Amino acid sequence: MKKTPLEEWIVKRTGISPANRNELESYQFKKMIETLNYAKENSPFYQKQLNGIDLEKISTWDDIKKLPFTTGEDIKTEPFEFLCIPQSRIDRIVTLNTSGTSGNKKRIFFTDHDLQKTVDFFDYGMRSLVDSADRVMVLLPGQSYGSIGNLLKKALERTSTACLVFGLLTDLDAAEKMIIENEINCIVGIPIQVLYLSRIKKDGFKRIEKVLLSTDYVPQAMVKELNQKFGCQVFNHYGMTEMGYGGGVECEALNGYHLREGDLYFEIVDPVSGSSVPDGVYGEIVFTSFNREAMPLIRYRTGDIGAFSRTKCQCGTFLRTMKKVEGRINNRIQLQDDVFVDLKELEEILLAVEELVDYQVTIKEKAIVRIEVSFYHDEQSEETEKQIKVRLEAYFQEKCRLSIQVEVERKQLQKPDQLVNSMIKRKIRDQRVAEGDQ
Ligand SMILES: [Zn+2]
């Protein structure tokens, strides 16, 4: 098994001795202090946030763990306060669609230098799964400068790996045509879109040997299906725009991500108390960025659930491994006293249903859960609807010892262009509270 290429990359970029964990951690500590000073000097937000904290007195990781967190809400409230450079030096702004009633939008800023660091990570990250003999199709936005597809293409050019950026999946026929005509054998895309393409365009998809899934939680049922039906190796990438898109990628062991440890410092904390949890225990993923010019982030709470692996990866690297992300914290909703519904678990059941293309879960009342489903073969759907109802009711009975009534409602299959909306990270709707409170 090939060792993660991120190891060689991180050693080279940080200048540490090979396989020396202590040196890497000293490097990270030095970068942490640098980031704190840079942010406090240059960003109005961190001037306030770190006011009264004597940075010269920070000498241990325990001191770091006492620093305040940064939240998505902070960015939404005053994005420009995070800027460490004049606005004229910004090369890319990403506006994220976020739910909520405030009307404020999350804006993330990058300089060209920040974007080049992402290209560098994508270059080595992609070497985990491809080399110059492979031909890659990217089902992510790639038209504009600094978009994720655009950066990925630049990264693959460095290793002379063929890369075609298709964009989000809006036209299934065109996507299949591109695969066949260009002898594509690797796809990078959003989980539900890649699954959808594989279910409808089997002929084109049978050429695909490797898949890299990104931007949303990846249900195990999906990995299994791509694996069994097409013999695909399914790699997961973990990242978010706030990280500069990329955060970590799986090696050939396919058992969790190796992280961008030279550019980002990751922590896992208890979502309630905010204190660190031991390796192996799930909590909220928190990160700090290094060397970011436009908008450094310190102890940023991602809202994603993850855990560090306690064991060494089979690939033999000295880098840490983070277990696959378990979804979002706010996708676990209290049904009754100590009974919770977890979207991730429902998703595993729902996506195993072959005909299903999209769905929405709503908690209607204490004991009623509504599932809206869309299929692409309308003829057989009545039978399938019954199946879904039976499977989910059995799940609630078994898992929660509760009699929950599941209402399955069919929604018209959306046109493929509407499928673009499903890239928004899924959320359980809770009708028991006013919509605006969610
Ligand atoms: Zn590994």
Q: How far is the CA of 387 from the centre of ligand 1 (A)?
A: 39
Going through 366-438 in order, the beta strands assigned E by DSSP cover 368-375, 405-410, 429-430
Q: Would you tell me how many other CB atoms lie within 10 Å of the CB of residue 353?
A: 17
Q: Report the alpha-carbon distance of residue 282 to residue 271 in Å, rounded.
A: 10
112-126 and 148-158 are packed helices; what angle lies between their axes, rounded to 10 degrees? 60
- Is residue 249 within 8 A of residue 128, CB to CB? The reply is yes
- CATH tag, 330-437: 3.30.300.30
| pLDDT tens figures, 146-199 | 999 999 999 999 999 999 999 988 788 999 999 999 999 999 998 888 998 999
Q: How far is the CA of 408 from the centre of ligand 1 (A)?
A: 41
Q: Report the alpha-carbon distance of residue 183 to residue 176 in Å, rounded.
A: 10
Fold classification of 1-327 is Rossmann fold (3.40.50)
Placement of tokens 């195990």 in the chain: 220
Helix, strand counts (H, E) of the chain:
13, 19
So what's the pLDDT on residue 120?
A: 98
229 Cβ neighbours under 8 A, 6+ residues apart: 198, 202
| pLDDT tens figures, 239-268 | 999 999 999 999 999 999 999 999 999 999
So what's the pLDDT on residue 415?
A: 54
So what's the pLDDT on residue 413?
A: 63
DSSP at 191? H
Q: Report the alpha-carbon distance of residue 187 to residue 206 in Å, rounded.
A: 12
So what's the pLDDT on residue 171?
A: 85
Q: How far is the CA of 249 from the centre of ligand 1 (A)?
A: 9
CA dihedral 110, 156, 205, 237 (to 10 degrees): -50
Q: Report the alpha-carbon distance of residue 242 to residue 69 in Å, rounded.
A: 14
Q: How far is the CA of 9 from the centre of ligand 1 (A)?
A: 14
5-14 and 21-42 are packed helices; what angle lies between their axes, rounded to 10 degrees? 60
The count of C-alpha atoms lying within 13 angstroms of the C-alpha of 100, restricted to the half-sphere facing its C-beta, is 12
DSSP at 136? E
Q: Report the alpha-carbon distance of residue 295 to residue 89 in Å, rounded.
A: 12
- Is residue 310 within 8 A of residue 11, CB to CB? The reply is no
Q: Report the alpha-carbon distance of residue 292 to residue 82 in Å, rounded.
A: 12
Q: How far is the CA of 187 from the centre of ligand 1 (A)?
A: 21
DSSP at 100? S
pLDDT less than 50: residues of the chain: 416-424, 434-438
Q: How far is the CA of 257 from the centre of ligand 1 (A)?
A: 7
Structure tokens at 286: 């928190």
So what's the pLDDT on residue 417?
A: 45
Query: 357 — phi, psi (to 5°)?
Result: -110, -35
Structure tokens at 401: 């010892």
CA dihedral 120, 320, 128, 289 (to 10 degrees): -20
Structure tokens at 32: 């942490």
Structure tokens at 167: 């964009």
So what's the pLDDT on residue 433?
A: 66
Strands 332-336 and 339-342, how do they pair? Answer: antiparallel
3-class secondary structure, 223: helix
Q: Report the alpha-carbon distance of residue 438 to residue 436 in Å, rounded.
A: 6
Query: 232 — phi, psi (to 5°)?
Result: -75, 145
- The domain locations on the chain are 1-327, 330-437
CA dihedral 372, 373, 379, 381 (to 10 degrees): -80
Q: How far is the CA of 269 from the centre of ligand 1 (A)?
A: 23
Q: How far is the CA of 163 from the centre of ligand 1 (A)?
A: 25
So what's the pLDDT on residue 287?
A: 98
CA angle 236, 123, 21 (to 5 degrees): 75
Query: 291 — phi, psi (to 5°)?
Result: 55, 25
Q: How far is the CA of 34 from the centre of ligand 1 (A)?
A: 29
